[in-house]
Chains A and B, each alone.
Chain A
């Protein structure tokens, strides 16, 4: 679409009503998405600050920056905040909330008020977590293993458990909204096979939200009961089984990692076709592999417990299932790469993030094979190898996907373009900083450096120093978008309605969209990723 020569601000969801009440009491999914954007970004920086302190402490083998208890709280709260208050909501609550109704041609989600309630639950839970932090913090590790968390820790375990428990309802309600919207509110002609893959991955994510989160909720509730009311469910002196906690905890927390990666995969599935000007290769396979990951993901939880004391037979079963769950992810990587074949590739910032995702997720996923191999896992479990693995998939994967998505849909959400040079620079900085931070940790892990160690033997120092150096670069990489995206809100180039020439119903509306998204409910007669019909942006005459 042509960019208008004269800028007159059209009515849109941002300027339709004014005042703080119109934002805090909004039921517009797009405004709620922005509310989430602000709060999720806040928690990202708190979690990131904790990460920097951890890496600063680890510059030297001795524990000389903070006390041991403080360090234990730092890694615990880094994990809790990043997992529950950043990664899990990031794409679904921001991009999902914004785009799911638009992509299916609806005016809003099925339950707009429940959507707002989701955000308030998240904020309340986040407030509890902040309160927990400032009143002493919690030092159990984000995994809360019993009996340490129930009977030995002297920190704010109850408050942290309650905070995460409450936050779970935010996820559950978001998942509920997505499932009902996708089932019942698709525009006429929009069959399942015409849905964008972003929708497929959010549908799969919602399944996990709905079936997995309640199990975490009951697990944390039992921890709360034990600490608050002395109901000793996990107390070994009363016959309680510490492994029962681990089974219950990981039954959710393993699918949780697929919650964190599936939406990013959905983002990549939108970006790669757009910047290759090609339909995605193997649409049905990519769609089905999202569902496959969600389903099989529920069957592998005890691969976190290979040295925990489970039986040999259980270990064998969970190992083989863990290899099974790797296959759909591999299918996606191959399909994305094949999409570039004979395409017409343009390396705009979103595409850089998407390609970075594919590369880093590949490495992260391959190292998962190491962990699924029973004989190797015994050696590398609970070492820095595991930390490197999950940061490759979570940060190199999920966060790159999130950044790519933010950049891709920024023009749609705000009506503005971010500055492309800075976008590219930040993407490259993040990629390089990330690898320097986490690749040395694979080596550290095989050497035997355990995780959650405040001090370590001197021979591990050089790798730790490299890792910290990388973390500083990574921090700069993340600060850059903060700055230039806020800058773009005022000074960025006015984006047209479809600056990328992308497929998808959301790009047929104005940028930013009107409150009800569509003037008229669309009737869909075309297949997804119809790039044979949509001209590339440079092919559209300007003016």
Chain B
């Protein structure tokens, strides 16, 4: 019977241990406080039970006690807050060299698009020991990607990217759930993450024939849609060159300096006038409604894959005055 009575989820990511440690501390604290209150109540109810000749003593209060049991809990809370904040900060800061996997959620399935070209549905193969970053968006309603074994969860929203990252530490197959109610088959929108040793993962990558990489697919689309007529490779055309733009600072018309991440690239395709690059006019056509999420991901990955910027290109770091503070987008 106890085989089917699990108490604890598997811990299969680098993050899992840190989350479990804080959780156990909180459990210990809660048990302590609960037992303390229960004992106090039981002891008082017995020791001071009503009986003849035994009168209650009227006590107004005690400043010392009130201060103590306000300040001490607040102090403990601050510790918990800081601890939890550190874990959360780490969870929200993917390492810069993490491998990306584009994720599209829709009612009621998960599509995982590896940059090497493989597309998986409801299943995600990852190598153990590598940082994996999921760049996620939804095609319809809000979903949420939850892998209990990795202790990660992030809502997946329509109209923008959200990210989650993890590093699997133990090979195995783990539950993947949708954890934001999304309609009829919400509880059916489940799958699995398959963590494999690096060798097994390499084998998995090569099986099933050759896949066209995501950035190559994006390149094709880039030409088909005519993006290259304005965003010429080497020089600035009617639009800024996109070579090396990913991950670097971009100066905008209104003076802001932002870091070009996936969300910036995506927004620039869908709503180009939101952030116009300094020195360029807001003439880029709006692609909102003309591309589906998969196509957007291809284009974003393509732009990411472009090399370093040529010297003196507008909007590139060399034109930004030294000491300009960048605004994280």
Contact = CB atoms under 8 A, between A and B. Distances in A.
- Are A and B in contact, CB atoms below 8 Å, in the complex? yes
Given A285-B61, A345-B45, A375-B88, A337 B40 contact: yes
B91 A337 contact: no
A46 interface: no
A373 B84 contact: yes
Nearest to A359: B38
A284 B61 CA distance: 9
Contacts of A375: 18-19, 22, 83-88, 91
Q: How large is the interface on B (under 10, 10 to 19, 20 to 34, 35 or more residues)?
A: 35 or more
Nearest to B27: A370
Interface centre among B146, B154, B185 (most CB of A within 10 A): B146
Interface string B83-108: 11111110110000000000000010
- Classify the interface of chain B: helix, strand, loop or mixed: mixed
Contact of A378 (B77, B151, B182): B151
A376 B140 contact: no
Interface in A458-480: 458-463
Interface string B37-67: 1101100110011100011111111100110
Q: How large is the interface on A (under 10, 10 to 19, 20 to 34, 35 or more residues)?
A: 35 or more
A344 B33 contact: no
Contact of A323 (B37, B80, B159): B80
B141 A344 contact: no
Nearest to A444: B6
B81 A373 contact: yes
Contact of B60 (A237, A279, A341): A279
A447 B9 contact: yes
A420 interface: no
A308 B155 contact: yes
A376 B183 contact: no
B29 interface: yes
Contacts of B37: 333, 337, 358-359, 362
A357 to B, nearest CB: 11
Contact of B48 (A341, A374, A378, A443): A341
Contacts of A451: 179, 181
A243 B177 CA distance: 21
Contacts of B22: 373, 375-376
B26 interface: yes
B125 interface: no
A374 B85 contact: yes
B59 A342 contact: yes
B65 A334 contact: yes
Contact of B23 (A334, A337, A446): A446
B84 A309 contact: no
B73 A448 contact: no
Interface string A315-329: 110011001101100
A376 B33 contact: no
Contacts of B33: 362, 366
A282 B61 contact: yes
Contacts of B18: 375
A454 B74 CA distance: 39
Contacts of A63: 187
Interface in B201-233: none
Given A147-B141, A373-B80, A376-B23, A450 B179 contact: yes
A148 B183 contact: yes
Given A326-B73, A455-B188, A377 B84 contact: yes
A376 B26 contact: yes
A57 to B, nearest CB: 11
Given A283-B61, A337-B40, A443-B7, A378 B184 contact: no
A326 B30 CA distance: 14
Given A148-B183, A283-B61, A309-B162, A340 B41 contact: yes
Contacts of B181: 72, 140-141, 145, 148, 451-452
B4 A447 contact: no
A312 B88 contact: yes
Contact of B56 (A141, A278, A443): A278
Given A326-B73, A536-B50, A448 B184 contact: no
Contact of A381 (B6, B80, B153): B153
27 contacts: A72-B183, A147-B140, A241-B159, A276-B48, A278-B58, A281-B59, A281-B60, A283-B60, A284-B61, A285-B61, A285-B66, A312-B88, A342-B59, A344-B49, A346-B49, A346-B50, A355-B41, A362-B34, A369-B30, A373-B80, A373-B81, A375-B84, A378-B19, A446-B9, A452-B181, A459-B4, A536-B50
Given A309-B155, A362-B34, 18 more contacts: A152-B141, A279-B60, A284-B61, A307-B155, A323-B80, A337-B41, A342-B57, A355-B45, A359-B34, A362-B33, A366-B34, A370-B30, A373-B26, A375-B86, A377-B84, A446-B9, A453-B187, A532-B58
Interface of A: 63, 68-69, 72, 139-141, 145, 147-148, 151-153, 236-237, 239, 241-243, 276-279, 281-285, 306-309, 312, 315-316, 319-320, 323-324, 326-327, 330-331, 333-335, 337-338, 340-347, 355, 358-359, 362-363, 366-367, 369-370, 372-379, 381-383, 443, 446-448, 450-463, 531-532, 536, 538
